[in-house]
Structure 1
Amino acid sequence: MKKVRIEEVENDAQPAAVMRRLTEPLGVTDFAINYFELEPGDSFAFAYHSHEVQEEVFYVHDGTATFETEHGTRQVDTGEVIRFDREEFQRGWNEGEEIVRAIALGAPLEYGTEIKLRHCPTCEERTDNRLERTDSRTTTVAYCKECGTETGRWQRGSMEGKVP
């Protein structure tokens, strides 16, 4: 048995104000578990994306999350849960005025091939992106795989990077 206090787990450089990876501190080996706090305009993910082998479940504890999906947008309110199958594209946002608090579960633990679609100003369309961490690991940068243009930047504890 392992127990952790969520606020004692290090905050990650993500497009969410708070993203705490709980998988490793809890010693989980078969699925991923992450805690999120989304300020207005924040997102759960760096891009509209899909995972080859992982399905994801989001439980919204507080607030309302809006998910962009292949079938349009879906709102998930306090106390509701949404599931995305393998290879199903999605990206969740806080489009409201209140903080969204949520838990995300992903199984199996590995993603397989992940496709991350972001708008590239150079290519003038959504393109697949690669993510890179800086040497300090406090900043994550997204680059278009087609032309190399930077499409987003997120710093731990910063509101920078809210570019869709």
Structure 2
Amino acid sequence: MGYHHVNTNDIEPFDSPGREFRSIGRAIGLETLGISHVVAEPGEQIPLQYHYHEEQEEAFYVISGVLHVETPDDEYVVEEDEVFIAEPTSPHRAYNPNQSASSVEVLAFGAPSVDDIHPYEP
């Protein structure tokens, strides 16, 4: 059996200008689930460019602020206590718009935890 209790402030953030990005999954050695805590200032993406995954499902839970997600067909506005889910092969770009009045805080989940990121050109 294995259990983990983690304070995200104890995890060293990645060097990401304009946002605070901490990989919880990597910090505790998870193999099948990626979990990240992200705080993005206005004008910053969370955390990747427009992309899609072959296998990975992604979910973004908004803790505070408002997250915007661009897709080929629509723009979604995801508010506090809401979740946005991108299924495999579904292109998306999650970001905090330039005109936002505040940062956005998000927990991002991905499974399986595979490196299958593909850039998407709209």
CA gap of 1:52–1:14, structure 2 versus 1, over 3 A, is farther
3-state SS of the aligned residue for 2:26?
A: helix
* Matching residue of 1:20: 22
Q: For 1:50 and 1:8, how far apart are their aligned partners in 2? A: 30
* Matching residue of 1:10: 12
Shift of 1:15: 5.6
Q: For 1:55 and 1:27, how far apart are their aligned partners in 2? A: 19
1:31 counterpart letter in structure 2: L
Two-structure CA RMSD over aligned residues (Å): 1.6
Give the number of the structure with larger relative contact order, counting CA–CA contacts within 8 Å between residues 6 or more apart: 2
1:116 counterpart letter in structure 2: P
The Cα offsets for residues 30-80 of structure 1, whole Å up to 9 and x where unpaired, read as 110000001111111331000111010000000000000122100000000
3-state SS of the aligned residue for 1:102?
A: strand
TM (norm. structure 2) is: 0.88
Gaps of 5+ in 1: 118-125, 128-164
TM (norm. structure 1) is: 0.67
Shift of 1:13: 2.6
* Matching residue of 1:36: 38
Alignment counterpart, residue 79 of structure 1, candidates 78, 81, 84: 81
* Matching residue of 1:115: 118
Instruction: Within 5 Å, give how 1:28-107 maps onto structure 2.
Output: 28-95=30-97, 96-107=100-111
3-state SS of the aligned residue for 1:11?
A: coil
User: Which structure: larger Rg?
Assistant: 1
CA gap of 1:37–1:20, structure 2 versus 1, over 3 A, is same
